[in-house]
Amino acid sequence: MATQVIVVNGGSSSGKSGIVRCLQEVLPDPWLSFGIDSLVEAMPGSGTGIEFAPDGEVNVGPEFRSLQKAWMTGIAAMVRGGARVIVDDVFLGGPGSQDGWREALTGLEVLWVGVRCDARVAAGREIVRGDRVRGMAEQQAELVHKGVIYDLEVDTTHTEALDCARAIAAHVA
């Protein structure tokens, strides 16, 4: 069966979004992309159960998890409807986060991709971006990968997004 979903997991400022944009250009068929940042932006300003601490730690509560589960279910429904989808996520819950996607994507052909980046390099990107709480990149660099099982890993510390995208595309059936 052909790959229907590519789930890309990595810490903040690791380069996931750039890789996803490049993937959309190098893959032969049209692929939609959905990122956790868009879900967070779509939520109301208060009462959503997500909190960004001054040190970069991100805490999520039951309200956020409930909305996230609905979001995942919706993405899976689009795939079941015939769309091919790339998901850009940050597995703050490690294997528990992956399990949530596994449940939503049951029966679909998924390519699991880990995007790694040295914490110092990601922290530098975070400063340049200017749209993140400082410290988030360092907090997440290793945390999001603990206990997660991938089909493929790429490292953006010294590799450009396009090269990473080409490596991922080579694994898409």
Q: Active-site positions?
A: 37
Q: How many CB atoms lie within 10 A of CB 125?
A: 18
